Amino acid sequence: MFIVTVVVFVFMRLTPGDPVQVEFGLETTPELLDAKREELGLNRPIVVQYVDWVGRMARGDFGRSIRAREPVSDLIKERLPATLQLAGLAFALGLLIAVPWGILAAIYRHSWFASATTVITYASIAVPGFFFSSMLVFLFTYKFRIFETPRYVPFVEDPITNLTNIILPVIALSHTTVAFYTRFIRSSVLDVLGQDYIRTARAKGLPEFSVVFRHALRNALIPSVTLIGLTVASLWGGAIVTERIFNWPGMGRLAFTALFNRDYPVTQAIVVLSVFSVMAGTLLVDIAYTFVDPRISHVGRK
């Protein structure tokens, strides 16, 4: 986390463009620009600015937005629920589709179903997210008019409208995740099904359902848990493009606007929160290992 704070702080200062100049435009006086930089503390040495930023951030104060002139924490609280709902549903949809799909593709690995799975997943990985999102909007909003123009309505205000408008963004954000999950789970299950203890279970006459779901699946999910935890970062990154295309007022759209306007405090806060979410996801993965792999629990007790 410390390394990330240093990198994001330094690189934001090295990025071309003056945030004060972006806010006031070209038709202003140098005196006004210098006064604004002095007010924002941008004229101080970079080390002093960094120490001051880290100290305030440790107390939960991310500063004030240069562009919006509001506390950064208020902007994040306003946008975070939309992103959490979008990323959470995309994550759940990815698991709901990929886990059974990958298992079936491994069980019927010599069938047309497995071949179709390979083609579909490779195509999903190859198609860029912005293109797939744009095609969803064009086909289902403008061509066939199945959905209205995407707009965000809080769930507490209108649950039906909220869930209806989030369908396309969730599909757009989860399509690559589904493909990665499916291929990884399929490979993991195939690797486990070739182990000696699986052949022994079959030789004992156990039903195929018991062999796959009782003996093979749990061990196959161990490496998959790592992948699932690390995809938290990809969901955060993919949300920037998805929210921009679907006009979804979440953290991704806020990050895009902050980067465009050279809004240092907002951009730095979003990056730090993103890294923290990845670290939290990694911690949850380590905890989940104790439930998936019983050997870890036994070593802990011993």
Residue 179's pLDDT is 92
pLDDT above 90 for 232: no
Q: In order of start, what are the domains of the chain with their CATH numbers?
A: 2-58 (no CATH), 79-301 (1.10.3720.10)
In the DSSP assignment, the letter for residue 261 is T
Residue 110's pLDDT is 87
Higher pLDDT, 229 or 154: 154
For the residues 79-98, what does the mean pLDDT come to? 90
User: What is the C-alpha separation between 248 and 176, in angstroms, rounded?
Assistant: 19
Chain segment 123-179, per-residue pLDDT in tens: 998 998 889 989 999 999 888 888 887 778 888 888 988 889 999 999 999 888 899
For the residues 274-295, what does the mean pLDDT come to? 78
Tokens at residue 245, please?
Answer: 């295309």
Percentage of the chain beyond pLDDT 70 is: 92
Task: Give the angle 199-205-206 at the CA atoms, nearest 5°.
Answer: 80
Chain segment 198-214, per-residue pLDDT in tens: 888 888 888 888 888 88
Q: Which residue has the tokens 């408008």?
A: 165
pLDDT above 60 for 300: no
Chain segment 116-135, per-residue pLDDT in tens: 999 999 999 899 888 998 99
Tokens at residue 184, please?
Answer: 């990884």
pLDDT band for position 115 (cuts 50, 70, 90): very high
Global pTM reads: 0.84
Residue 154's pLDDT is 87
Q: Which residue has the tokens 């992948």?
A: 227
Q: Which value, in Å, is the radius of gyration of the alpha carbons in the chain?
A: 24
For the residues 271-290, what does the mean pLDDT come to? 82
Residue 233's pLDDT is 62
N-terminal to C-terminal alpha carbon distance within the chain? 33
Residue 259's pLDDT is 85
pLDDT above 70 for 238: no
Task: Give the angle 293-295-299 at the CA atoms, nearest 5°.
Answer: 135
For the chain, how long is the longest CA-to-CA vector? 86
Tokens at residue 209, please?
Answer: 């359902």
pLDDT band for position 299 (cuts 50, 70, 90): low
Residue 234's pLDDT is 65
The burial of 239, by beta-carbon neighbours within 10 Å (0-12 exposed, 13-18 middle, 19 or more buried), is given as buried
Residue 273's pLDDT is 87
User: What is the C-alpha separation between 161 and 294, in angstroms, rounded?
Assistant: 44
What average pLDDT is seen over the chain? 85
